[in-house]
A and B are shown apart, each in its own frame.
Chain A
Amino acid sequence: MATLFQGVGAVTPFSASSSLDSNKLLLPSRKSLSISDSRGSIFVYRSDALNLKAATRKQDLLIPNAVATKGETSTSAKSGHELLLFEALREGLEEEMERDPRVCVMGEDVGHYGGSYKVTKGLAEKYGDLRVLDTPIAENSFTGMGIGAAMTGLRPIVEGMNMGFLLLAFNQISNNCGMLHYTSGGQFTIPIVIRGPGGVGRQLGAEHSQRLESYFQSIPGIQMVACSTPYNAKGLMKAAIRSENPVILFEHVLLYNLKERIPDEEYVLSLEEAEMVRPGEHVTILTYSRMRYHVMQAAKTLVNKGYDPEVIDIRSLKPFDLYTIGCSVKKTHRVLIVEECMRTGGIGASLTAAITENFHDYLDAPIVCLSSQDVPTPYAGTLEEWTVVQPAQIVSAVEQLCQ
């Protein structure tokens, strides 16, 4: 896949780190980057443990830590190691395979090829062909196989080469994976992890640009999480593997090459918690996966215009972390949801319903939800770009919301 180092929008993602090291070099360089510069150039995304200071916020020092991450105990910016998101996934996977011999991986081309996005690279050599299993092309059946293996005591991770292919596995995921723990009266557990890249990429065509979270969200019995940074990718991968419930881990095709410094110590994140990316006062922006970066870029512009957005990466798509979201809504009274799903029946639609039901009294304005249009993703680059929510739209939505 050729999307190695292409710019998505020249944003420096803020990491959810609490260490307050301030003097780093990125500030001047960030100011010079803009969307138009990103065409064809090469960027490496850095979300070092430093940049919360960069935004011109009013209260600099006091961060009532609504950050939902655990294990960030390193105080020195030099500790930890840098890696790319797909490497973070692999590290999480490898640590779990090392820790528990029942963990195994199955999917197309995950073995010697190392996976189409290299998440499983090197694992077949290390753990052998039985634990890193190349399967024939039959998604429903290898997902079924994973379910059978899980019921008999293994902890399989099923990789869909692209999330869209898992539509073929819908029968097994919905009727068996989500249901068998329940219909068997709790006798059989299915600790399976189903993961893969999804979302709109760079001109991959309609069939390879699917956002399956909207289709899967109704299935009872499964949990869904979406990772967005190397830090949470590794933590969520480990948490998903350790969970007794079936978990679907959504990765994004364009985020695999994000680079970040993550701790050396072992850490596992919670599957049901949202991540406070940027605390603020004026408006709550809820987002997940790739849109987090568009939102953060819009946040820069908004800050320059004098707004103070609170950005939350919801991470847990099923169930929603209504606690974190609720605290935020009670503080800001305005909600903007930015997602890549389509408008109809997307995660944003469910989130809007959940917030309205639970926090209606705290809202000063109707919830605004920015999503992709209800169209298959076109191939032409310009058309594709406009099916995805862009920072400019986010900025004007906030301005309108905050009037």
Chain B
Amino acid sequence: MWISKTIFNHFKSRLNFTPNYAPLSLLSPRRFASTIAQNPSTFNSIHDANQVIDFPGGTVKFIPEMRFISETSPKRIPCYRVLDDDGQPLANNFVQVSEEVAVRMYSNMVTLQIMDTIFYEAQRQGRISFYATTIGEEAINIASAAALTREDVIFPQYREPGPLLWRGFTLQEIAHQCFSNKYDNGKGRQMPIHYGSNKHNYFTVASTVATQVPHAVGAAYSLKMDKKDACSITYFGDGGSSEGDFHAALNFAAVMEAPVIFLCRNNGWAISTPTSDQFRSDGVVVKGQAYGVRSIRVDGNDALAIYNAVQAAREMAISEERPVLIEALTYRVGHHSTSDDSTKYRPANEIEWWRLARDPVARFRKWIERNGWWNDMAESELRNSLRQQLLHSIQVAENIEKPPIEDIFNDVYDVPPSNLREQEQWVKDTIKKHPLDYPENISA
């Protein structure tokens, strides 16, 4: 019976993991026993009755001194990094990536960078209504996707188109979505950058912050029930970690032992709110332990560190059926979106410094060049070709018709009910009567 297998894994994992603190008596297996409630005092493992109290939740030692746990620790949680700023490995204990994977990762990071630049310009020219760049966070985007498999389901916030590119979503499809034309697989219903593709296991972006975090937990629960060799991963920012959904989702994932990776892109800013105004904890990584979730802090601008951490987290999540929190420290080089001018709330030279001196793409480039896998010629070829492709995709997408009127009313339900059909007819009749009042590039 698979229930007993779950119990077995539950205890097996407890034995393998050696925490660096004395655990309270382990989660009582009452949850899996499916019968009568058991007397909690039967779980006492410490026999000295003078030292412990056995409240619900497990035995706990008592002390006569009143000690408050400090709100900060003297040292911040250290950050895992593989390559230094110059692309040199700091040690040799990281998982090597092959030339093929490394070059593919690099190309995708460059693609993301150029895509962002060109689409941002397109918005400034008035050709699309909105865009948000991922500049500065290319390593997080691509390296995390590279460490996952196609079966792992992705729940993005909105600053993670990288995994889509990695999984084969084309620049043309990106353009279709940004122009909301009839080839957009979202049928023109969402703002630009709100991509979604079930074929790529990438769930449609919703503008609401952190609502995808519990979705990822639910998906992980579903994968666990189906016993698939896959996990779910969800991305969110430092700001998103303030939402109630984040906290409850971490709690749920821990209680339900769901195989989910929570990847926080702590890029220092939530629109104009710096992290010092967002939380007073040592970032987001310390919150994991509060919910019983294993966590790690990683240098988000180091592609290899992200790759290693996500790969390890995926292994833990699936084989041990546990959630893992990864806080990737990085910097949001671009503005929050095209509706924002971040020089209004942060110094322009800070932005420039992060853009040039701490560029994750350049850093990774140094590493692959040093390995002999890349050179200047390949670089300029790639960049030129991408620029051409992008300009072409934009031109094509711009000239394609917008989705038909029916797509206003389809997919609200599986089958449109009569009131929606009536409303659709009314709109169509109105357009027929007053064609000059309506745009022309709507397909009939």
Contact surface of A with B, Cβ cutoff 8 Å: 104, 112, 124-125, 128-131, 133-136, 138, 140-154, 156, 171-172, 175-176, 179-189, 220-221, 223, 243-245, 272, 319, 322
Using A154-B218, A187-B204, A221-B412 as known contacts, list a sample of 13 further A-B pairs with CB atoms less than 8 Å apart, ordered by residue number in A. A112-B34, A130-B3, A138-B247, A140-B245, A144-B217, A148-B232, A150-B218, A152-B218, A181-B412, A183-B194, A186-B187, A186-B411, A187-B196
Asked whether A140 lies within 8 Å of B222 as measured between CB atoms, the reply is no
Given contacts A149-B218, A154-B225, contact A182 B189 (CB under 8 A): yes
12 contacts between A and B (CB under 8 A): A129-B3, A130-B6, A138-B244, A140-B244, A148-B216, A149-B218, A179-B206, A182-B411, A184-B196, A185-B196, A187-B186, A220-B412
Chain A residues lying within 8 Å of B6, measured Cβ to Cβ, are 130
Contact with A along B13-34 (1 / 0, CB 8 A): 0000000000000000001101
Asked whether B225 lies within 8 Å of A144 as measured between CB atoms, the reply is no
Bound CA–CA A185/B412 (angstroms): 10
- Separation in Å of the A220 CB from the closest CB of chain B? 5
Bound CA–CA A180/B155 (angstroms): 13
Which of B31, B414, B419 touches A129 (beta carbons < 8 Å)?
B31
Bound CA–CA A143/B211 (angstroms): 10
Chain B residues lying within 8 Å of A130, measured Cβ to Cβ, are 3, 6, 221, 224-225
Bound CA–CA A112/B38 (angstroms): 13
Bound CA–CA A141/B246 (angstroms): 8
Contact with A along B307-325 (1 / 0, CB 8 A): 0000000000000000000
In the complex formed, the residue of A with least CB distance to B253 is A145
Asked whether A185 lies within 8 Å of B252 as measured between CB atoms, the reply is no
- Separation in Å of the B36 CB from the closest CB of chain A? 9
Given contacts A138-B248, A140-B248, A187-B196, contact A148 B3 (CB under 8 A): no
Q: Does B100 contact A (CB under 8 A)?
A: no
Which of B3, B213, B226 touches A153 (beta carbons < 8 Å)?
B226
Given contacts A180-B206, A183-B194, A185-B187, contact A145 B413 (CB under 8 A): no
Given contacts A183-B194, A185-B187, contact A176 B211 (CB under 8 A): yes
Bound CA–CA A112/B34 (angstroms): 7
Chain B residues lying within 8 Å of A140, measured Cβ to Cβ, are 214, 244-245, 248
Chain B residues lying within 8 Å of A129, measured Cβ to Cβ, are 3, 31-32, 34
Asked whether A171 lies within 8 Å of B186 as measured between CB atoms, the reply is no
- Separation in Å of the A332 CB from the closest CB of chain B? 23
In the complex formed, the residue of A with least CB distance to B184 is A185
Chain A residues lying within 8 Å of B203, measured Cβ to Cβ, are 151, 184, 188
Which of A112, A141, A181, A322 touches B244 (beta carbons < 8 Å)?
A141
Contact with A along B198-219 (1 / 0, CB 8 A): 1000011010100111111111
Bound CA–CA A322/B413 (angstroms): 18
Residue of A112, A136, A151, A182 with most partner-chain B CB within 10 A: A182
Bound CA–CA A176/B215 (angstroms): 10
Chain A residues lying within 8 Å of B190, measured Cβ to Cβ, are 183
Q: Does B185 contact A (CB under 8 A)?
A: yes
In the complex formed, the residue of B with least CB distance to A319 is B417
Chain B residues lying within 8 Å of A146, measured Cβ to Cβ, are 218
Contact surface of B with A, Cβ cutoff 8 Å: 3, 6, 31-32, 34-35, 37, 153, 155, 184-187, 189-190, 194, 196-198, 203-204, 206, 208, 211-219, 221-226, 232, 244-245, 247-249, 251-252, 255-256, 410-414, 417-419
In the complex formed, the residue of A with least CB distance to B254 is A136
- Separation in Å of the B182 CB from the closest CB of chain A? 11
Asked whether A148 lies within 8 Å of B217 as measured between CB atoms, the reply is yes
Given contacts A148-B219, A151-B215, contact A186 B226 (CB under 8 A): no
Asked whether B413 lies within 8 Å of A141 as measured between CB atoms, the reply is no
Given contacts A152-B222, A183-B190, A223-B413, contact A144 B204 (CB under 8 A): no
- Separation in Å of the A356 CB from the closest CB of chain B? 15
Which of A152, A188, A220 touches B223 (beta carbons < 8 Å)?
A152
Asked whether A141 lies within 8 Å of B249 as measured between CB atoms, the reply is yes
Chain B residues lying within 8 Å of A319, measured Cβ to Cβ, are 417-419
Bound CA–CA A128/B217 (angstroms): 19
Nearest 8 A/B pairs, CB to CB: A148-B218, A148-B215, A144-B214, A141-B248, A138-B248, A145-B218, A149-B218, A184-B204
Given contacts A186-B187, A188-B198, contact A153 B251 (CB under 8 A): no
Chain B residues lying within 8 Å of A134, measured Cβ to Cβ, are 31
Chain B residues lying within 8 Å of A187, measured Cβ to Cβ, are 185-186, 196-198, 204
Bound CA–CA A104/B225 (angstroms): 10
Asked whether A153 lies within 8 Å of B413 as measured between CB atoms, the reply is no
Chain A residues lying within 8 Å of B198, measured Cβ to Cβ, are 184, 187-188
In the complex formed, the residue of B with least CB distance to A138 is B248
Given contacts A136-B252, A136-B255, A244-B414, contact A145 B34 (CB under 8 A): no
In the complex formed, the residue of A with least CB distance to B250 is A141
- Separation in Å of the A216 CB from the closest CB of chain B? 15
Chain A residues lying within 8 Å of B155, measured Cβ to Cβ, are 148
- Separation in Å of the B424 CB from the closest CB of chain A? 13
- Separation in Å of the B227 CB from the closest CB of chain A? 10
Given contacts A183-B194, A183-B206, A244-B414, contact A124 B34 (CB under 8 A): yes
- Separation in Å of the A189 CB from the closest CB of chain B? 7
In the complex formed, the residue of A with least CB distance to B3 is A128
Chain B residues lying within 8 Å of A322, measured Cβ to Cβ, are 418
Given contacts A128-B34, A319-B419, contact A144 B153 (CB under 8 A): no
Asked whether B214 lies within 8 Å of A148 as measured between CB atoms, the reply is yes
- Separation in Å of the A155 CB from the closest CB of chain B? 10
Chain B residues lying within 8 Å of A144, measured Cβ to Cβ, are 211, 213-215, 217-218, 245, 249
Chain B residues lying within 8 Å of A150, measured Cβ to Cβ, are 218
Bound CA–CA A339/B34 (angstroms): 41
Bound CA–CA A145/B414 (angstroms): 21
In the complex formed, the residue of A with least CB distance to B221 is A149
Asked whether A171 lies within 8 Å of B208 as measured between CB atoms, the reply is yes
- Separation in Å of the B49 CB from the closest CB of chain A? 30
Asked whether A141 lies within 8 Å of B206 as measured between CB atoms, the reply is no
In the complex formed, the residue of A with least CB distance to B411 is A186
Asked whether A184 lies within 8 Å of B244 as measured between CB atoms, the reply is no
Chain B residues lying within 8 Å of A156, measured Cβ to Cβ, are 218
Bound CA–CA A138/B250 (angstroms): 11
Chain A residues lying within 8 Å of B37, measured Cβ to Cβ, are 112
Asked whether A272 lies within 8 Å of B248 as measured between CB atoms, the reply is no
Bound CA–CA A153/B171 (angstroms): 29
Asked whether B249 lies within 8 Å of A145 as measured between CB atoms, the reply is yes
Chain B residues lying within 8 Å of A175, measured Cβ to Cβ, are 206, 208, 211
In the complex formed, the residue of A with least CB distance to B189 is A183
Chain A residues lying within 8 Å of B225, measured Cβ to Cβ, are 104, 130-131, 154
Which of A149, A172, A184 touches B219 (beta carbons < 8 Å)?
A149
Chain B residues lying within 8 Å of A243, measured Cβ to Cβ, are 414
Bound CA–CA A138/B31 (angstroms): 19
- Separation in Å of the B2 CB from the closest CB of chain A? 8
Chain B residues lying within 8 Å of A104, measured Cβ to Cβ, are 225
Residue of A150, A187, A223 with most partner-chain B CB within 10 A: A187
Bound CA–CA A284/B393 (angstroms): 60
- Separation in Å of the B218 CB from the closest CB of chain A? 3
Asked whether B411 lies within 8 Å of A181 as measured between CB atoms, the reply is yes
